[in-house]
Each structure stands twice: as structure tokens, then as C-alpha cells.
Structure 1
Amino acid sequence: MAKAIRIHAHGGPDAMVMEEVDVGAPGVGEVRIRHTAIGVNFIDVYFRTGLYQAPNGLPLTPGHEAAGVVEELGADVEGLKVGDRVAYASAIGAYATERVMAAEKLVKIPEGVSDEEAAAMMLKGMTAEYLLRRTFPVKPGHTVLYHAAAGGVGLIFGQWAKHLGATVIGTAGSADKIELAKAHGFDHVINYRTQNFVDEVMAITGGKKCDVVYDSVGNDTFPDSLDCLKARGMFVSFGQSSGPIPPVSLATFAQKGSLYATRPTLFNYIATRAELEECAGALFDVVKTGVVKIEINQRYALADAGQAHADLEGRKTTGTTILVP
């Protein structure tokens, strides 16, 4: 029998329990995969607590990204064979030793990328891809501000943004995290616990401010993030680790410089097979060429998923975290 982390009632990390599950055989267009590594992300916390509602309700197996090996093919599956290494970032239910899922959600892992790297980077790396290349296409000369610079997306984002020619400013909450972010592409990193990040951005930019602010923190950084933007700059809110942004009047964006604001999510950027392949391909390219290095800073056994969540919420982690089945 396969094993999976299950949630029967929303709550804290202890709401997750390991159980045996019957995976079953793959149906038409599906494959059964054996996971070799599973990514941990803040979106998993949102589903565990009930902030985000699972499409099929409870009980729920959390997790959105993983890597593994194809073990069995259903009917009408093209482009995959048993033994292929594959990864994904768009199907809830990853916290398991095995699962059946739609083949169209999977991409092959290329040579030069390990299973652990793929599991650690698919959701975070494709998030960085759409933020940098499509939500606000970053070009040489742009100045960007990214909150939570030492997080999983942040360390990928910093390297990629620097490669694109931007001046990259980040925020982090400790000396260790600041140094980590600086080692991953950030030109300037502000300690949000001891410094006012708006004042620091003004000083760093000579009062010119930023072209774009990328904010996955939410309540704690809003609305101050808006004061870091140039006129007609863009505020990109793509998460809410400190809680949701309170209701805001559209007039606020006019008053602060005719600002643009968007609330993107990865799943709308990889909605078609072509978009998924393009996004994943761009990510694999920057990793294979060494532009972006994926460093896995925490590993937990699948059975210890609760501890992984506790550490993530307690801001005790940096970079990427994986579960090992």
C-alpha cells in the first residue's frame, strides 16, 4: 500500500497524519508515479489551515510539486513511458509515496537536473519565471523590490533577476538570511525587523524608487510597499504569508502615482500544455546552464511533514525544503 499525508480537519501542523492509501490503477490519460522527492511550499499551509479551499474538500492530501518515476501508464498516454523521470507543480496531492495523476500535468526532467532539484524548484521556479518574464517583464535597468528574499522563490528570483540585468533589492529578517540573499543575486537586502524598508529603498535608489514590487508577505508589508514604487509602477501581490491584505480602495493606487496592481497565481500562467512546457523549459534552461542554482536547505521524511510546516511557518527555514518519501 502507498502512504500519504492526510488532513481530516483544518488546523495546525498536527492536523496532518500519515495513512495507508489505495492508489488504484491509472485511467485514460493518466499515469501512476512513485515519488522520489516532494516540495514544500507556503501554499500547502494555506490549504492545511483552510485559508484556501481544496477542490474536492476533506480529507485532503496537501502538496503541489514533486518529482518521481513513471510506474504505470493508463490508456491513450502519449510522450511518456515507464521509467521516465517526471515532475509537476500543478496538482494538489503531492504528499504521498505514490499517486495517479493526469499525464498532461507532468514534464520530463532533463539530464543535468536531479529529482530533488526538480521537486524543490518546480512550483517556486515556475513562479519566479512568470513573475520575471510575464507578469512584469524585467529588463536591464529596472529596479525591483522583492520581499522575503531568503525564501524558496526568493533565492531563485534573485539569481534570475540579476541575470536579466535588474538592480535587485530584497528584504529579510536576520543577518544570516541577508547574507544568503546577497549570495543569490540580491544587490541590496534590508533587514525589515530593524530598518524601515521604505526609507531604505528611497536611500538605495536616490529617491527614484522601484519599477515593480513583488510581495508574497501580504498584511505586514502593505501598504508600505506602494510607497516604494515609481509613478505607474506595478505592485505584484502573489502570496500572503503574514495574512491577507486588507480591503483597499482603488483610489489608493491613483493617489500613490497611478500604480498598477495584480494578484497573479502560477496556475493561470501554466493553464495550457504549451504554457506549461514553455514555463518549465525556461526554468530548466537557467538551471542547466548554471544561471540559477537550486540549493536544498532542509530535508524531512514524509512522515515529518508536520515539523516541516511548523519550521516553515516559524520562519526557521531558508531556500527550498523537500520531503523524502
Structure 2
Amino acid sequence: MARVVRFHEHGGPEVLRIEDVDLPPPGRGEVQIRVKALGLNRAEAMMRAGHYLETPSFPAGLGFEAAGTVEALGEGVDGLARGDAVSVIPPLSMLQWPAYGELASFPSAHVVKHPASLSWEQAAAVWMQYVTAYGALIDIAAIRRATFVVITAASSSVGLAAIQIANSVGATTIAVTRSSAKKQALLDAGAAHVIAAAEEDLEGRLKAIADPAGVQVVFDPIGGPIFEPLTAAMARGGLLIEYGALSAEPTPFPLFKVLSKSLTLRGYVVHEITGDPARLAAAKAFVLDGLRSGALQPVIARTFPFEQIVDAHRFLESNQQFGKVVVSL
């Protein structure tokens, strides 16, 4: 028996329950870990609320990320031993491999021995953010020195990871946040420029910063009306990578800007990387190198105890955080 978080209906954070469940041993090719910390993600709040790509059968578990020690190995798993300190790259389905619990099983290819310098909380705050940002900026956009990269929702864990990754290859980062409340923190986190979209002329500021080359890459999880000023400031042949849908407003298709500038608007999910063994191996190597060198340093907004999972989800959805929300066990 182990304590796990489950929900029996869609709704707000209050639908989450901690329950005692008899968990099966890890299956073939799986690793079961004793969880020390969990990293929370917006996808989990969307799943809980009924607005995610997967449709659960109740009761359902949640969670993509965890860090802990290896508890048991399924048949056919090599390279790991009981007691190893590991962290988890998000698998393809959190319904099949939910992370929120004292024990959790994952595909062995997604279980990584992370650098010993990381705390459990830091290790639980690594893989979703860095692999998501790596896949978009390095694997797909192939950003390089002097590329102007716009990062919206910049104070999120993925946004901060994108700033660090872009800086590591010498790109110029333009962080976009809603208000000026987090402006100094974003500058301190390494953003070359920060724009408060609700207080400034986003299109005008982007054009002024990136003139004359224009913005080559936009990395956006919001959608909605922000598409208009973003595409208006993009360079000919620019690439907008959309990896979320946080805006509740309709997203316009800027037809004439796309046509006149030969823009590419591309949808992206992290499973493009995690579902491809070769691309996943490259992502692992990039992230581990960055962690060891110090170029990549997880930023933790706040840590909650496991018993306060409801409060952790409330904070996750409050937009107050700067970095990753973590739960410790």
C-alpha cells in the first residue's frame, strides 16, 4: 500500500484526494521509485479540470515529474540498481504512469541518474521544463548566437528554462510577462530584455529591440490576442512555436502577416522529443551537460508538503509563482 493522489471527478484543486492504494510491482521495462519530490505542471491542472489532451477514467492519478530512489526494477531493465538517486523525464501518458504518490512506476528510458549536486526538489524541477524548451529552441528552431528569441509566460518554469537554454548558445532573449511586477526578477534570471505586455506596446517594443533583423523565433504557451503583435514584430521567415493554450480568448490567425513574411506557425508538444529515442537521448545529454556546467539551474518558486497537494495546485494556478512549484514527500 502507498499513499497516492487521485481524483474522482473533474473540478478545481479541491477534487484531489490522498488515498491508500495497493500498487502493482513495476512491469517489464519499468522502474518503480520511492518518491522524494514532485514537480508540478500546468498540464496536470488542465487534466484535473477536464481540459487536457487525455481523457481519464475515474479514479485517475496525476503527475509527470518525480525524483527519488529506485525501489524496484521490472524485467529487462539494465543500468539501474535499487537505491539509485533518479529523476523522471515525463512519459507519454500521466494516466498510465502517474507521478503523484509515495511510489510510482515509469518506463526505464525516462528514468535518469541526475547529478548528485541536485537536491530532491531541484531534481524534480528539471525534466519537463528543460526538455520542453530544448525541443523547441534547439531541436526544432536550431537557435544560435545573435538569434532574437521571444519567450512569453517568461516567469513560468519552462519560460525560465528557455531563457537559460537560449543564453547558453548566445541567443538574445526577450522575455514577455504580463506586468512589471516580475521584470527585475526576469532580468536577474538572465533575460536580455523584458516587456510587460499589459503595460507596454508589445509590437513596438519588440520591433525596437530586434531592429533591423526582427524577431526570428517566438516560443509561446499562451495563444489568444497576443498572436497579432507577436507576428507583426517577426522577421521574414520567422518561426512561432506554440506549445500551450493558456489564453481563454480566441486565437486569431494573422493571415496577411503570415503570407507577407513567409512565417511558420508550428504547434509543439514535448512528446515529440520524449517519444523519439534518438531525440530523447540528445535532449538528456544536453540537459545533463548544462546541469553539470551550471548553465542550467532549476528555479523553484515554492515547495509544499505532500499533504498540501490541494494548496500546491491552487498556488500553481494563481500565476504568482516565479519558477517551479514543487511538492516534497
Q: TM-score, length-normalised on structure 2?
A: 0.92
- CA apart distance, 1:53: 4.1
Aligned to 2:41: 41
Amino acid at match of 2:215: C
Q: 1: CA distance between counterparts of 2:133 and 2:165?
A: 8
Structure 2: unaligned runs, 5 residues or longer = none
| Structure 2 CA distance for partners of 1:262 and 1:97, relative to 1, 3 Å | same
Report what 1:309 is aligned to: 313
Relative to 1, partners in 2 of residues 1:319 and 1:199: Cα closer, same or farther, differing over 3 Å? same
Secondary structure at the aligned position of 1:80 is classed as: coil
Residue 106 (structure 1) aligns with = 111
**More divergent stretch after superposition (303-312 vs 125-134):** 303-312
The structure-2 alpha-carbon separation of the partners of 1:83 and 1:285, relative to structure 1 and needing over 3 Å to count, comes to same
Deviates more, 1:257-266 or 1:107-116: 107-116
Contact 1:150–1:178 (8 Å) recurs in 2: no
**Quick one: structure 1 residues 317 and 111, their matched pair in 2 at CA, closer, same or farther if it must change by over 3 Å?**
same
* d(CA) in 2 for partners of 1:254, 1:248: 8
Q: Structure 1 residues 137 and 100 mapped into 2: Cα distance closer, same or farther (>3 Å)? A: same
Q: How many residues align?
A: 324
The structure-2 alpha-carbon separation of the partners of 1:97 and 1:252, relative to structure 1 and needing over 3 Å to count, comes to: farther
The whole-number CA distance in structure 2 between the counterparts of 1:20 and 1:176 is 41
- Aligned-partner residue type, residue 211 of structure 1: Q
Q: How far apart are 1:119 and its partner, in Å?
A: 0.7
Task: Give the residue type in structure 1 aligned to 2:159.
Answer: G
Q: Deviations over 1:166-213 (max 9, x none)?
A: 111111134341111111221110111211211111122235420011
TM-score (norm 1): 0.93
Per-residue CA deviations over 1:49-107 (Å, capped at 9, x if unaligned) read 11114365332211111111111122222111101112113231111111123223212
- Compared with structure 1, are the counterparts of its residues 252 and 61 closer, same or farther at alpha carbon in structure 2 (3 Å cutoff)? farther
Q: 1:3 is paired with a residue of what secondary structure?
A: strand
Question: Identity over aligned residues, as a percent?
Answer: 29
Residue 278 (structure 2) pairs with residue 278 (structure 1): no
Match of 1:170 in 2: 175
SS of the aligned residue for 2:124 comes to helix
Alpha-carbon distance between aligned partners in 2 of 1:171 and 1:12, rounded to the nearest angstrom: 28
Report runs of 4+ in structure 1 exceeding 6 Å deviation: none
Alignment correspondent of 2:203 = 198
Q: Aligned to 1:68, what secondary structure does the other structure show?
A: strand
Q: Which whole-Å deviations, capped at 9, do the CAs of 1:209-251 have from their partners, x for residues lacking one?
A: 20011111122422332112111101110112223753738x4
Kept in 2: contact 1:54–1:60 (CA 8 A)? no
Unaligned runs of 5+ in 1: none
- For 1:131 and 1:261, the matched residues in 2 are separated by 12
Shift of the 141–47 alpha-carbon distance from structure 1 to 2, 3 Å rule, reads same
